[in-house]
C-alpha cells in the first residue's frame, strides 16, 4: 500500500493558496438571512477573455468545488504565460471513447482564458488499421517498430484524428489550430532496430505561442521530422514529456480511462510525493509493469522541470475537478520536498544555514545573540528538527517526557515553503511521529485558520493561541497552564535560556506571522469560558480572517469611486494609493468635475461627473471590477440600478460597495461587517452594504455577549463633528461645540435600527456630537442573564476576536485620542456592577477609517479575492507624537528664535496693527490643502508673544482633511487683540506651512515603505535650512521620520573629507573615538563593501552605504550581515540618490536606516489661512465646497448620512 503520508497529504499537496475553514456565524440567523449574489472571476488583463462567459464558467465550476477554490486555482494558472499553463497528453482510446467529455473539458478551460497545449497519439486506432491492412504490429522493448508502410498508415491516421479533434472543438465554440508538421525535431532513435522512430531533439515553441496569442488552442500530433524532412513516429508520452521540458508548464496532464494509478488493493492513489516516497514505492511488490514504468518516467520528467510543475493522471471527465479543487480527482505526482531530520546539533550538515533560517525576519540587533543562545539550549536538551533540503521550512519539537506534552517550539516557513506545501508535509510527519503535540501562535497570525485546521483544540490567552491535537481532554492543557504540570514552566525556562532572561521579545518571532514560539507566556488562572465546537475544544474565533494564503487573485482590480469629495472618500483614496492591486480609474464628483485628484500617486486621475447612463455603459463594457458608492443617503439608487442594467446587457458582475445606509436593511445585499458576518458570504457577494460607523463599534462591543444578555443594551455614543452632517448647524459649528456636548436624534436614529436589526435584539442608542474632529466613543450598558465577573467577560471578548487585526481588546476603557487616525476598534472597560448582572463595555472607533473607508477596503479585498487586510497598515506606525507633546523636546532657545523671527518680520512701525486697533477679536485657522498638521507649539508661542491665545480643534499629527480648491476646514481658534492677531499671522502661518509640509511628505513616504514591507528607520539628512532647522526637524518627527542627528554633537559622521584628512577610515574612526568617548556613536560614509569592512573592523557603530544602487544595496547589506555575524554589532544606513519616488527600490530589511533629503528639501507646503471672524462668535461663511468637506450630507430627518 502507498504510505499513509501520501494519502493524508493529498489536500495539502494540491493547495497553492490555502482556504480558511468555513466556520459558523456568531450572529442570529435573523441578522443576515439574505439572498447572495455570487460574482464572476475578473480576468487578467493579459488574457483576452469574454467576461460574461468567464463568469458563467466560474459559476459552473463551483459545482465541483467551492468558488474560492476555483478562483484560487484560476489565479495561479493565469499567473504564468499562456503556454506555461499545461501540457495535456491525449491517448488514442480517449479520442475514440471519450472525445465529447474531452472537448467539453477543453472548452471550459479555453473559455476561462486557459490555453493548454494538446498532444495526442492514436495507438489503438493504428493497431486496428494495421491489422486491417494485413500488417502485424511489432514492438521491441515496448517501442513500436515503424517501417515505411506503418509510417504511411500512422501519418494518415494521425492527421485524420487531429482534424477530428479540431472539428469537435470548433463545434463547441473553441478555436483550435492543428499543428501537425514541424513541431518536433528528431533524430532516428535507432534506425536499424526500430525503423522510422524518432528521438526528439527540439520543440518549435514559437508556433505554439503564436497560436495561443491568436486565440487558438494548439493541437499537436506525436509526429516528428528530421533536419532533412523525414517524418518519424514518436511515442505520444515521449512527445508530451519533451513538450513539457521545452515549455516548463505548471501542469502535465496524462488523460487515462482508468483515471489514475491504483495501489495493491485497487484503490486510486491520490498523491505521490516523489522526493519522500519514490524509493519506498519502487520497493513495493505491487508496483510493477505499467505502474512502475509510469512512475519511473514521470520522476525522470519532473527531475528536469521546476519544482512548481506537477503531473496529473486523470479521466477526461474529471479534468475540472482535478485542476480546480483541493481534493482533486486522479493521481497527482510531484517532486515535493524530501524531509530531513536532526536530533542533535551536529546532525545539521550546515549549521550556518540553520542559524540564518532561525534569524530570518527576526527584528532587532540582538537576533544573532538570541539564536546562539537558543542553539545552546538545544544542545543541552532533547529535540527533533524537521526540514527540507532548501530549508524553506524548519520545525523543532521538544519531545514528550515525564508526563509533559511534546511541544512544537519553532516553525519557520518561507513563502516558497507554503506554496510548495512543505508546511503540510512537515505537519503530516509531525502527526505521524508525535501522537500529541502542543504549539502556540500569535492571535493576529494571518494564517490562524491553517493552524485551526491542524489542531483538535485551542485556547487563547494574552495575545497567544495555544493549539493541540491528540490530547484526550482539554483539561490536561488547562492543568498544565495552571501549574498541575510543568509544561509552561519548562517552556518558560527554555525561553529564558534562549533569551538570556529577556522578556521583551519571543524567541524567533517572525514578522510573517506563520511561526510558533519557543517561549509561551505564563498565563493567569481565570475561568475558561466561552467554549464552543467539538466537546472539550476551546474554539476562539469562529470566523477567522482571510490572510494572504486565502487570496485568490493577485492582479489589478479596476475601481470607480462615485461621490469622492467627502472625508471618507479622501481616506479611501489614500488607502487605495498604497494598495498593491487596487487601480483607481474613475472618481466622480459633480462639484469637483475637471479638477485633478489630490493624494493619489499611482496615476493622474481627474474628477469626472459620471451620470447613471455612463455607469450603465461602463458596466456593460466590463470596465470596472468594483464600484464604491460614497454618496449621501437616498442618492445612490440610480447609480446602483444603472449597474444592474449594465449587467443585464453583458452579464458582467462587478462588485458594488455602498457606504450609505440605503441597502443596510435590504436582504438581497450582503452586510459588510467581516468580524461578525461570515467572511465566505462577503467573498462571494457582488453587492455589499458598508455598515455605519456608530453601528460597527456598537455591534462589535455587544455581539460577544449576546448569549449572556439579559435585556436591552443601552448605548451612549459620542462622535467628533466630522460625522455630524455638512449643512451649517449647531452640531458642526466649532465655536458652538467648544466646551459643549450636543445630543441629537435621541430616539429612532438610523444606527439604532441598524444595530437592532443585525444583532436580532432591540438596543437603545443616544448619539451626541463633541468638539473633536474625528473618532467615536461608545459607553454600552448590557444587562446579563447570569452573574459574571469582569475577567470572565473580557476573556469572552478576547476569545471571540482572536486573530482580528482590526479589533483590540484592552483592559482599561479606551480613549478617543488613542483611536483617532487608526484602522481599528478598541473595546475595553468591562466594569461589572456589584450584583454581577450588568456590565459596562466601552468601544472606540475612527468614524472615517474602520467606521467607513477601512471597512470598505476590507469588503473590497474580500469580494475581489485579495487578502482581507491588503493595503491596510498591519500595525500602527509608532509615531513620536503619540508618546506625548513634542514641545517638550524643544531646546531652551526656541522661544528666543521665535522672538527673533517676529522682530525680523516687524522691525519698525506696524501701520497695519494701527489700522485694526487692539479690540478683542477671534480668528479661525483654516486648513486649505490636505496634509499632516505639524508645528503647533511654534504657532502657539508666536501668538503668545503677540498677546493672543490658541484653542486647537485638531490634534497635531492628524491629517488635515480638505478636497480640492476652495475646500477648507477649521483647525483652531485664536483669540486676542486684533493687532496681535495680524502681527503673528504671517510668521505663524509660515512656520506651520513649512513644518506641516515636511511632516506630510515624511508620513507619506513612511507609510509607503511600511506598506512595502520595510521595517527599519526612515530619516532625514543634514541638508536642512539654516535658521529653520528646528522647524524642519520637528516636522520630520511629527511625520514619523527620524531627524538623523539632532545636531553635530549627537553623533559623529565621518565622510570622505574626514577620511582623506586623516589618511584612512581606521585612523579617522580611532581619532573620533578618542575624542568622543564611549557615549558618542560613530558613523562612517563608505563607497564600497571593502570600505565598510574597514569601518566595522575599526569600531564604527554605523556604516552608511552612499550612492549605491538599489540592487547594490541589497547585495552589500546581506554580504556584510553574513560576514560579520557574531563578530560585531553595527547598523547599516543607506543614503545618496534616494528620493520619495525611488525609495521603495532600496527596501531591504538588512538595512536599518534609509535617509533622504527629499522629505525636507523642496517639499510642497501645506496651505493655511487665518481669518478674523466677521461677527464676534460667528465664523465667516464657508463655500458649499468647504461645507462638503468629508462630513456627509444630512438627511431630512436630521440623521447624519454616509460619513456616520
Distance between CA atoms of residues 189 and 768, nearest Å: 87
The reply to whether 223 falls in a domain is no
User: Would the pLDDT of 31 be above 60?
Assistant: no
Q: What whole-number percentage of the chain has pLDDT above 70?
A: 80
Distance between CA atoms of residues 616 and 541, nearest Å: 40
- For the residues 129-137, what does the mean pLDDT come to? 83
CB-based contact 588:560 (threshold 8 Å): yes
Considering 383-392, 398-407, 535-544, the range whose residues carry the highest mean pLDDT is 383-392
Q: How confident is the model at residue 669 (pLDDT cuts 50, 70, 90)?
A: very high
User: Would the pLDDT of 1082 be above 90?
Assistant: yes
Tell me, yes or no, whether 466 and 514 share the same domain. yes
DSSP state letters, 565-628: -SHHHHHHHHHHHH-SSEEEEEEE-TTTTTSBPSS--SS--B-B---HHHHHHHHHTT--SEEE
Lowest mean pLDDT among 87-91, 149-153, 471-475, 1123-1127: 471-475
pLDDT at 576: 92
Tell me, yes or no, whether 1151 and 1072 share the same domain. yes
Domain that holds residue 790: 693-847
The CATH number that applies at residue 1068 is 3.20.20.70
The reply to whether 578 falls in a domain is yes
Q: How does pLDDT run across 268-286, given as a tens digit for each residue?
A: 887 788 877 888 888 887 8
Tell me, yes or no, whether 697 and 786 share the same domain. yes
Q: How confident is the model at residue 652 (pLDDT cuts 50, 70, 90)?
A: confident
Considering 305-314, 644-653, 708-717, the range whose residues carry the highest mean pLDDT is 708-717
CB-based contact 117:86 (threshold 8 Å): yes
The reply to whether 1133 falls in a domain is yes
The reply to whether 158 falls in a domain is no
The reply to whether 198 falls in a domain is no
Tell me, yes or no, whether 734 and 656 share the same domain. no
Listed residue (804, 800, 794, 701) closest to 443, CA to CA? 804
The CATH number that applies at residue 366 is 3.40.630.30
Lowest mean pLDDT among 446-460, 1159-1173, 1180-1194: 1180-1194
Tell me, yes or no, whether 899 and 842 share the same domain. no
Lowest mean pLDDT among 450-464, 814-828, 965-979: 450-464
Tell me, yes or no, whether 614 and 734 share the same domain. no
The CATH number that applies at residue 585 is 3.40.50.720
The reply to whether 831 falls in a domain is yes
Tell me, yes or no, whether 699 and 685 share the same domain. no
- For the residues 976-982, what does the mean pLDDT come to? 94
Tell me, yes or no, whether 744 and 638 share the same domain. no
Tell me, yes or no, whether 416 and 512 share the same domain. yes
The reply to whether 1198 falls in a domain is no
- Measured CA distances, 605 to 261, 612, 1082 (Å): 56, 20, 46
User: Would the pLDDT of 75 be above 50?
Assistant: yes
Q: How does pLDDT run across 1165-1187, given as a tens digit for each residue?
A: 999 999 998 754 444 333 333 33
Tell me, yes or no, whether 617 and 729 share the same domain. no
pLDDT at 1197: 33
Tell me, yes or no, whether 349 and 493 share the same domain. yes
User: Would the pLDDT of 486 be above 70?
Assistant: no
User: Would the pLDDT of 289 be above 60?
Assistant: yes
pLDDT at 161: 92
Query: Hey, is 13 helix, strand or coil?
Result: helix
User: Would the pLDDT of 414 be above 50?
Assistant: yes
Tell me, yes or no, whether 888 and 955 share the same domain. yes
Q: Calculate the dihedral angle through the C-alpha atoms of 502, 508, 513, 517, rounding to the nearest 10 degrees.
A: -80
Q: How does pLDDT run across 202-256, given as a tens digit for each residue?
A: 999 889 989 988 889 999 999 999 998 899 999 898 999 999 999 888 889 999 8
Q: How confident is the model at residue 137 (pLDDT cuts 50, 70, 90)?
A: confident
The residues carrying an active-site annotation are 693
pLDDT at 731: 64
DSSP state letters, 122-147: -HHHHHHHHHHTT----EETTEE-B-
The set of cell numbers assigned to 544 is 477567522
Q: What is the CA radius of gyration of the chain?
A: 34
Q: How does pLDDT run across 676-731, given as a tens digit for each residue?
A: 999 989 999 999 999 999 999 999 999 999 999 999 999 999 998 776 554 556 76
Lowest mean pLDDT among 176-180, 265-269, 783-787: 265-269
The CATH number that applies at residue 751 is 3.30.360.10
The total number of structural domains in the chain stands at 5
- Across the chain, what does the average pLDDT equal? 80
The reply to whether 965 falls in a domain is yes
User: Would the pLDDT of 37 be above 50?
Assistant: no
Considering 333-342, 380-389, 590-599, 850-859, the range whose residues carry the highest mean pLDDT is 850-859
Domain edge (last residue) among 630, 660, 689: 689
Q: How confident is the model at residue 115 (pLDDT cuts 50, 70, 90)?
A: confident
Distance between CA atoms of residues 691 and 689, nearest Å: 6
Domain edge (last residue) among 689, 704, 728: 689
Q: How does pLDDT run across 886-919, given as a tens digit for each residue?
A: 888 888 888 999 999 999 988 888 888 889 899 9
The set of cell numbers assigned to 1111 is 540592487
Strands of 339-342's sheet in order across:
339-342, 384-388, 393-398, 407-413, 437-442, 464-469, 457-461
pLDDT at 1054: 92
Listed residue (77, 80, 86) closest to 106, CA to CA? 86
The CATH number that applies at residue 928 is 3.90.1170.20
pLDDT at 36: 32
pLDDT at 885: 81
Listed residue (567, 575, 660, 656) closest to 847, CA to CA? 567
Kindly give the pairing relationship between strand 231-233 and strand 626-629: unpaired
pLDDT at 159: 93
Amino acid at each position: 500500500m502507498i504510505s499513509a503520508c501520501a494519502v493524508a497529504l493529498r489536500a495539502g499537496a494540491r493547495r497553492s493558496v490555502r482556504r480558511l475553514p468555513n466556520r459558523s456565524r456568531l450572529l442570529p440567523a435573523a441578522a443576515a438571512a439574505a439572498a447572495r449574489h455570487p460574482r464572476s472571476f475578473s480576468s487578467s488583463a493579459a488574457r483576452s477573455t469574454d467576461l460574461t462567459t468567464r463568469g458563467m464558467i466560474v459559476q459552473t465550476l463551483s459545482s465541483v468545488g467551492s468558488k474560492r477554490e476555483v478562483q484560487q486555482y484560476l489565479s495561479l494558472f493565469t499567473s504564468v504565460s499562456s503556454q506555461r499553463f499545461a501540457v495535456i497528453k491525449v491517448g488514442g482510446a480517449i479520442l475514440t471513447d471519450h472525445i465529447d467529455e474531452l472537448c467539453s473539458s477543453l472548452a471550459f478551460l479555453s473559455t476561462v482564458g486557459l490555453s493548454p497545449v494538446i498532444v495526442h497519439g492514436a495507438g489503438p486506432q493504428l493497431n486496428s488499421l494495421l491489422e486491417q491492412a494485413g500488417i502485424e504490429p511489432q514492438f521491441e522493448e515496448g517501442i513500436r517498430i515503424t517501417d515505411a508502410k506503418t509510417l504511411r498508415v500512422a501519418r494518415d491516421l494521425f492527421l485524420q484524428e487531429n482534424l477530428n479533434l479540431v472539428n469537435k472543438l470548433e463545434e463547441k465554440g473553441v478555436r483550435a489550430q492543428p499543428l501537425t508538421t514541424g513541431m518536433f525535431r528528431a533524430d532516428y532513435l535507432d534506425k536499424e532496430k526500430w525503423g522510422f522512430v524518432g528521438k526528439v531533439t527540439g520543440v518549435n515553441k514559437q508556433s505554439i505561442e503564436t497560436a495561443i496569442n491568436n486565440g487558438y488552442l494548439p493541437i499537436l500530433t506525436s509526429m516528428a521530422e528530421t533536419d532533412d524532412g523525414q517524418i518519424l513516429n514518436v511515442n505520444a508520452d515521449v512527445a508530451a514529456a519533451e513538450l513539457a521540458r521545452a515549455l516548463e508548464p505548471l501542469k502535465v496532464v496524462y488523460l487515462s480511462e482508468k483515471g489514475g494509478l491504483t495501489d495493491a488493493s485497487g484503490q486510486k492513489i491520490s498523491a505521490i510525493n516523489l522526493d519522500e516516497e519514490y524509493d519506498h514505492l519502487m520497493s513495493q511488490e505491487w508496483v510493477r509493469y505499467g505502474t512502475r514504468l509510469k512512475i519511473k518516467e514521470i520522476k525522470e520528467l519532473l527531475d528536469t522541470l521546476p519544482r512548481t510543475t506537477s503531473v496529473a493522471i486523470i479521466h477526461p471527465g474529471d479534468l475540472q475537478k482535478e485542476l480546480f479543487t483541493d481534493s482533486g480527482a486522479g493521481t497527482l505526482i510531484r517532486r515535493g520536498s524530501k524531509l530531513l531530520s536532526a536530533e542533535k546539533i551536529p546532525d545539521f550538515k550546515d549549521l550556518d544555514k540553520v542559524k540564518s533560517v532561525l534569524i530570518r525576519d527576526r527584528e532587532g540587533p540582538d537576533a544573532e545573540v538570541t539564536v546562539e543562545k537558543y542553539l545552546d539550549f538545544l544542545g543541552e536538551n532533547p529535540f527533533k528538527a524537521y526540514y527540507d533540503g532548501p530549508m524553506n521550512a524548519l520545525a523543532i519539537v521538544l519531545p514528550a517526557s515525564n508526563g509533559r506534552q511534546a511541544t512544537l517550539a519553532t516553525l519557520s516557513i518561507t513563502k516558497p515553503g507554503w506554496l510548495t506545501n512543505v508546511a503540510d508535509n512537515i505537519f503530516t510527519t509531525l502527526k505521524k511521529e508525535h501522537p500529541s503535540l502542543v504549539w502556540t501562535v500569535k492571535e493576529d497570525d494571518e494564517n490562524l485558520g491553517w493552524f485551526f485546521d491542524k489542531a483538535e483544540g485551542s485556547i487563547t490567552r494574552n495575545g497567544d493561541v495555544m493549539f493541540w491535537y491528540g490530547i484526550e481532554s482539554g483539561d490536561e492543557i488547562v492543568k498544565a497552564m495552571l501549574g498541575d504540570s510543568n509544561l509552561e514552566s519548562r517552556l518558560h525556562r527554555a525561553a529564558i535560556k534562549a533569551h538570556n532572561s529577556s522578556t521583551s521579545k519571543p524567541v524567533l518571532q517572525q514578522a510573517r506571522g506563520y511561526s510558533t514560539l519557543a517561549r509561551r507566556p505564563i498565563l493567569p488562572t481565570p475561568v475558561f469560558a466561552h467554549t464552543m465546537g467539538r466537546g472539550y475544544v476551546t474554539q476562539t474565533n469562529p470566523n477567522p480572517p482571510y490572510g494572504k494564503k486565502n487570496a485568490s487573485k493577485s492582479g489589478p482590480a479596476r475601481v470607480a469611486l462615485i461621490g469622492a469629495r467627502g472625508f471618507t472618500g479622501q481616506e479611501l483614496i489614500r488607502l487605495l494609493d498604497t494598495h498593491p492591486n487596487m487601480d483607481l480609474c474613475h472618481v466622480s464628483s459633480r462639484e469637483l468635475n475637471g479638477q485633478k485628484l489630490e493624494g493619489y500617486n499611482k496615476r493622474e486621475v481627474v474628477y469626472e461627473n459620471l451620470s447613471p447612463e455612463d455607469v450603465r455603459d461602463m458596466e456593460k463594457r466590463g470596465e470596472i471590477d468594483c464600484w464604491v458608492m460614497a454618496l449621501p443617503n437616498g442618492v445612490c439608487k440610480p447609480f446602483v440600478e444603472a449597474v444592474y442594467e449594465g449587467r443585464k446587457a453583458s452579464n458582467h458582475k462587478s462588485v458594488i460597495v455602498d457606504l450609505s445606509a440605503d441597502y443596510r436593511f435590504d436582504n438581497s445585499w450582503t452586510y459588510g461587517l467581516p468580524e461578525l458576518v461570515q467572511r465566505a458570504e462577503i467573498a462571494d457577494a457582488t453587492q455589499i452594504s458598508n455598515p455605519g460607523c456608530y453601528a460597527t463599534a456598537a455591534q462589535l462591543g455587544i455581539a460577544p455577549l449576546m448569549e449572556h444578555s439579559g435585556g436591552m443594551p443601552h448605548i451612549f455614543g459620542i462622535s467628533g463633528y466630522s460625522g455630524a452632517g455638512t449643512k451649517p448647524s449647531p452640531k458642526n459649528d466649532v465655536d458652538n461645540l467648544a466646551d459643549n456636548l450636543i445630543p441629537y436624534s435621541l430616539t429612532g436614529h438610523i444606527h439604532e435600527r441598524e444595530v437592532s436589526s443585525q444583532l436580532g435584539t432591540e438596543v437603545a442608542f443616544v448619539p451626541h456630537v463633541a468638539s473633536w474632529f474625528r473618532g467615536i466613543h461608545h459607553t454600552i450598558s448590557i444587562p446579563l442573564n447570569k452573574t459574571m465577573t469582569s475577567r470572565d467577560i473580557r476573556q469572552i471578548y478576547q476569545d471571540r476576536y482572536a486573530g482580528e487585526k482590526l479589533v483590540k481588546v484592552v483592559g482599561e476603557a479606551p480613549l478617543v485620542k488613542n483611536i483617532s487616525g487608526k484602522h481599528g476598534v478598541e473595546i475595553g472597560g468591562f466594569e461589572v456592577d456589584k450584583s454581577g448582572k450588568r456590565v459596562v463595555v466601552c468601544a472606540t472607533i475612527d468614524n472615517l477609517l474602520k467606521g467607513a473607508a477601512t471597512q470598505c477596503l476590507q469588503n473590497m479585498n474580500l469580494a475581489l479575492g485579495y487578502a482581507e487586510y491588503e493595503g491596510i497598515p498591519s500595525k500602527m506606525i509608532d509615531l513620536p507624537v503619540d508618546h506625548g507633546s513634542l514641545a517638550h523636546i524643544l531646546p531652551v532657545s526656541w522661544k528666543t528664535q521665535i522672538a527673533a523671527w517676529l522682530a525680523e518680520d516687524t522691525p519698525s512701525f506696524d501701520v497695519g496693527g494701527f489700522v485694526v486697533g487692539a479690540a478683542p477679536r477671534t480668528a479661525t485657522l483654516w486648513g486649505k490643502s490636505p496634509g499632516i498638521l505639524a508645528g503647533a507649539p511654534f504657532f502657539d508661542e508666536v501668538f503668545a508673544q503677540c498677546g493672543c491665545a490658541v484653542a486647537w480643534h485638531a490634534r497635531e499629527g492628524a491629517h488635515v482633511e480638505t478636497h480640492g480648491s476652495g475646500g477648507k476646514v477649521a483647525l483652531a481658534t485664536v483669540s486676542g487683540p486684533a493687532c496681535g492677531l495680524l502681527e503673528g499671522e504671517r510668521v505663524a502661518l509660515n512656520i506651520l506651512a513649512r513644518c506641516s509640509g515636511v511632516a506630510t511628505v515624511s508620513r507619506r513616504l513612511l507609510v509607503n515603505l511600511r506598506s512595502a514591507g520595510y521595517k527599519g528607520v526612515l530619516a532625514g539628512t543634514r541638508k536642512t535650512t539654516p535658521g529653520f532647522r528646528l522647524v524642519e526637524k520637528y516636522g520630520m518627527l511629527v511625520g514619523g521620520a527620524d531627524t538623523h542627528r539632532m545636531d553635530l554633537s549627537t553623533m559623529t559622521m565621518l565622510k570622505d573629507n574626514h577620511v582623506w584628512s586623516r589618511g584612512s577610515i581606521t585612523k579617522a574612526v580611532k581619532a573620533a573615538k578618542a575624542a568622543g568617548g564611549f557615549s558618542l556613536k560613530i558613523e562612517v560614509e563608505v563607497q564600497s563593501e571593502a570600505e565598510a569592512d574597514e569601518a566595522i573592523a575599526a569600531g564604527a557603530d554605523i556604516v552608511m552605504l552612499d550612492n549605491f544602487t538599489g540592487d547594490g544595496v541589497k547585495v552589500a547589506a546581506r554580504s556584510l550581515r553574513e560576514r560579520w555575524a557574531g563578530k560585531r554589532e553595527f547598523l547599516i544606513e543607506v543614503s545618496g540618490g534616494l528620493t520619495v519616488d525611488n525609495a521603495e527600490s532600496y527596501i531591504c530589511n538588512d538595512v536599518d536606516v534609509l535617509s533622504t533629503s527629499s522629505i525636507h528639501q523642496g517639499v510642497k507646503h501645506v496651505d493655511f489661512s487665518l481669518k478674523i471672524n466677521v461677527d464676534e462668535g460667528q465664523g465667516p461663511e464657508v463655500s458649499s465646497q468647504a461645507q462638503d468637506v468629508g462630513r456627509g450630507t444630512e438627511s431630512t430627518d436630521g440623521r447624519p448620512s454616509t460619513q456616520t
